Amino acid sequence: MELKLILEAILFSAQKPLSLKEIRDVFAGAPEHAEGDERARRLKRVKEEEVRAALEELAREHEQAGRSFRLACVAGSWQFVTEPQYAPWLKALVGHKARPPRLSQPALETLAIIAYRQPVTRAEVEQVRGVAVDGVMQTLLERGLIEQAGRAEAAGRPMTYATTAGFLEYFGLPSLEELPAADELRRAPAPQPEGLATVDPGLATAPPEQLAAPAEGKEPEGEPSPGPG
């Protein structure tokens, strides 16, 4: 398909990742350079959906062809990138990429909780980790990986947090849908009896109302109690 090849040419020359909107702008601006080329005029108002579908197909083709580079979508923007196994040569060619130091374990865990459960309050995060997360949250905010997303509908209207586009770029993810094992981790924890705190007093501070998990009002599953009869 012609559209695919044009997209390939555009992305081949692009100096930075391009969003669908930016790509459409390119198509909109092409006819004035076309000098009578019909194709440019025809494609001037190409739809976003068509572009996306063509890009996805193009990406699949490159991957199947087993080339040393592929078409990647990161945070919604598209770009050709090399495969990781060629890193030694690329590093020798361009020097190491400017990357901030790697994240610590506590930072990654906190980030994982926020990523899967967003929007989420600090207290909810602490409830899963079992420790205070102030320092780590500060680091994640400073690194631009999370941001304040709003306020929860609960007593005290606590701040909620969500991940940023920077988060997707940092991990090379096209979107939040592509988080590994998303279904399982997004799911609220095992059903809790209604209105009960799952947190021990003295650990993190969430009163039950702050927990985002929908109250399913069932008995907790556990060892069957040999009832007194």
Partner 1 sequence: MGEYKVKFEVFEGPLDLLLYLIKKEEVDIYQVNLTRLAGQFIEHIETLRLLDLEVAGEFLVMAATLMYIKSRELLPVDQQARAEEDDDGLDPRWELIRQLVEYKKFKDAAAQLQALEARQENVFPRAPGRAEFAAAPPPRCEASIFDLVSAVSAVLQRFGRRGEADDIFEDKWTVSEKLEHLLRAMAEQPRMKFSELFAGAASRSEVVATFLALLELIRLKRVAAFQDEPFGEIVICRVEQPGALLA
Q: Which residues bind partner 1 (CB under 8 A)?
A: 12, 14-17, 72, 79-87, 90-91, 94-99, 101-106, 108-109, 111-113, 115-116, 128-132, 135-136, 170-173, 179-181, 184-185, 189-190, 193, 196-198, 200, 202-203, 220-223, 225-228
Taking the complex as a whole, the smallest distance from the CB of residue 68 to partner 1 amounts, in Å, to 11
Taking the complex as a whole, the smallest distance from the CB of residue 57 to partner 1 amounts, in Å, to 20
- Given the complex with partner 1, which of 1 and 108 has the nearer CB atom? 108
Which residue, chain included where needed, has tokens 């030694």? Answer: 88
CA distance 168 to 178: 10
Taking the complex as a whole, the smallest distance from the CB of residue 47 to partner 1 amounts, in Å, to 26
Taking the complex as a whole, the smallest distance from the CB of residue 199 to partner 1 amounts, in Å, to 9
- Given the complex with partner 1, which of 45 and 94 has the nearer CB atom? 94
- Given the complex with partner 1, which of 37 and 68 has the nearer CB atom? 68
Q: Which of 34, 45, 171, 22 is nearest to 102 (CA)?
A: 171
Sorted by sequence, the CB contacts under 8 Å of residue 21 that are 6+ apart come out as 48
- Given the complex with partner 1, which of 34 and 108 has the nearer CB atom? 108
- Given the complex with partner 1, which of 66 and 180 has the nearer CB atom? 180
* Cis peptide preceding 84, ω within 30 of 0: no
CA distance 81 to 97: 13
Q: Dig out the tokens for 28 from the structure.
A: 């909109």
Q: Dig out the tokens for 197 from the structure.
A: 């705190």
Helix/strand/coil for 53: helix
- Given the complex with partner 1, which of 82 and 118 has the nearer CB atom? 82
Q: Dig out the tokens for 164 from the structure.
A: 């940023």
Taking the complex as a whole, the smallest distance from the CB of residue 52 to partner 1 amounts, in Å, to 20
Taking the complex as a whole, the smallest distance from the CB of residue 15 to partner 1 amounts, in Å, to 5
- Given the complex with partner 1, which of 7 and 17 has the nearer CB atom? 17
Taking the complex as a whole, the smallest distance from the CB of residue 227 to partner 1 amounts, in Å, to 6
CA distance 142 to 52: 33
Helix/strand/coil for 117: helix
φ and ψ at residue 131, rounded to 5 degrees: -140, 165
CA distance 108 to 223: 33
